[in-house]
A and B are shown apart, each in its own frame.
Chain A
Amino acid sequence: MKQEELKARLEEIKDKLIAIEQPRDNRIYLLCEAEDAYAVDKFLFEEMNLRFVITTGIDSDDCFEVLYHFANDETGTFVTTRAFIRDHENPSIESITPFIAGAEWIERETHDILGIDFKNHPNLRRLILSDDWPEGVYPLRKACVLSKAKELEKELENEKDTE
């Protein structure tokens, strides 16, 4: 669809968004809260037929962000949904795997590395961390320092030795 049609259709879900930003011609950001992300993504994927590209997870200072990138191949425009997860202790967001099967593994990877819980995900197992990596340590969180991870690992080994 052409650029004007794209922007016109985006007006339809304006009530779910905090803001729409367009820093460049081919880059549109839709900012929203985590609870609305599911509906926004469903609209982008099913109603507007954009192609799902990838998901990004960010650990900002006060919140977590999950970015869903969609592409409009006709004009080369990327439409990205920025979902803010305000709960910094136990972040969770609704998974989009039920209607986009291709998002299954990237959500597993985000869960592995950042610890974001994806609700209703069919298969939230470990994907890229090694099998002997301790549970509950999320390497790419800003609060996770490598030495703390090694401490936790030593604790777990000592527990195993004393068992």
Chain B
Amino acid sequence: MTEAFWIPFWILVFPGFLFTLGLGLVASYLVRKVSALVQYRVGPPVMQPFYDIMKLLGKEILIPQDAQQFVFKAAPLIGMAGVLLLSTMLGVNALWPERTFVGDIIVAIYLMVLPSLALILGASASASPHAAVGAAREMKLVMSYELGLVLAFVVVIIRTGGTLSLAAIGGQAPVIGISNFIAFAVSLLCIQAKLGYVPFDIAEAETELGAGVLMEYSGPLLAVWEVMHAMMLVALPMFLVMVFLGGFGAGGLGLLGGVLKYVLVLVLIILIKNTNPRVRIDQAMKFFWVYCGIAMVVAVVLATIGNIYGIARL
């Protein structure tokens, strides 16, 4: 009874679909409200993201005749499934650390790629020139920031002694040090790109590309994309909190501290979003490959030196 009941419960209710979706809608509202306040206006009401999704569920689906039907319909579901599994895994590992396994951070990194991959697949199956350009740009963006993101996690793994397990990483108090700080900053920008927020909202660049990657989606399929985006707003900052800032159990403040850390990461994302213009794809690639790449190589070297010689500050 226990396993057969608990696993679907975790995936569908808590900390899976319903919990992540609810928290994601609140986070989505926070993003829009804070952006509005920064722009000296009022902003939407609290339930607005919920109204958006409910409205989209009631519209008809229009699928282009030349689109690749199966991939077009399956892509949003694949993306949502990836984020759902990621947030379920992170939530279960945070609350019951005995359930982690060696290598689960690798699984998490793989699951994080699924939403971007699904976006590229869906856009390529759309049979629209705007979506094709959006897909090409998203592909280049993904190829640019994935290296920085993985190297950031490598830094933390080196600092915490080399175990590929979320429990080992999350169980320690936040490790203060130069390499950690660099890794956190770079991974925050990579998360910004993965979420599709300014300055890296190149794939869905309105006023440049119509609606970019999501050009041909309408109705319930678009609602699934919006749900996926809301859930990414929960899963990705939570991942950052667990890896860099000490997670939800350690560091002395416990669960409340974890929530505050999550809000901190969210606020950082919103502030970066509101104070920057959109960059071109070649500028973004140069930024991630050259600047972030060099910074991450320096951070990895510093972390290795710090680990070998036992210097905590590095």
- The answer to A–B direct touch (Cβ < 8 A) is no
